[in-house]
Amino acid sequence: MSVNLNDESFVKEFKVFNDGKAGIALNVRVRIDKKATADTNDKKPNYKLIAADDKGEINEGFYYQEPDSEGFTKYQAQRLIQLARGVLGKDVKFPVFNTPAETLDGVMKMVAPELAKKTWRVAVCYGTNKRKASYLGFKPFGSFIQSMTEENALSLDSADSVVRAPLKEATAAADLVAGLSTGESKEGLDWMK
């Protein structure tokens, strides 16, 4: 086998959701993925809300929360209400759930079947002005999803960041490259001189 790195077959085109622009993304496909029950990786979310256009995807993870935790009471409960209202309508009625985990499972079961039936518009930004993100995501607070069959009521607020935060530099790699260019010897890399 020969490897020709001059061949363009090794170069992949990166596609970015909504061309990397904060705002209202139109005609988006939305789905929910559930973590496999056999998957014991605690770092993976229990559910992912995924929006896709012809350019790429964004997602938001939802994790099981402890009862009375701030993660649930201050953020996730509100987020689930906004998701359900955006998909099922503002007048959606929820059953009474016993735990945050039951709430997450219940809302996802209510919403998931409806998502495949329509295309959606979603509000996307780079976090908030207080906590900017390097990657595009769903608007973190307030309404963020709506059916394309409805008149647009989504918008970004003054708290939503429309400017991408700079990526954190990979310092280990940058230090290595900088050291090699100055002739500095790195342990175990003498062969690179």
Q: Answer whether 158's CB lies under 8 Å from 67's CB.
A: no
pLDDT of residue 187: 66
Phi-psi region of 183 (alpha: psi -120 to 50; beta: other; left: phi over 0): left
Distance between CA atoms of residues 160 and 141, nearest Å: 9
The answer to whether the Cα torsion of 101, 102, 106, 112 is positive or negative is: positive
Amino acid making up residue 73: T
- Tens-place pLDDT, residues 67-102: 889 989 889 999 999 999 999 999 999 999 999 999
Task: Read off the amino acid at residue 38.
Answer: A
Q: What tens digit of pLDDT does each residue of 22-60 get?
A: 999 999 999 999 998 877 778 899 999 999 999 999 999
Residue 174 pLDDT greater than 80, yes or no? no
pLDDT band with cut points at 50, 70 and 90 for residue 179: low
What φ, ψ does residue 111 adopt, rounded to 5°?
A: -85, -40
75 or 8, higher pLDDT: 75
Q: Yes or no: say if 174 and 167 are a contact pair by the CB < 8 Å rule.
A: no
The single-letter code of the amino acid at 171 is T
d(CA 103, CA 94): 9
Instruction: Note the pTM of the prediction, 2 decimals.
Output: 0.80
Q: Give the mean model confidence (pLDDT) for residues 130-149.
A: 96
- What DSSP designation does 80 have? H
pLDDT of res. 12: 75
Average pLDDT over every residue of 160-176: 77
pLDDT at 175: 61
Residue pair 121/152 in contact (Cβ under 8 Å)? The answer is: yes
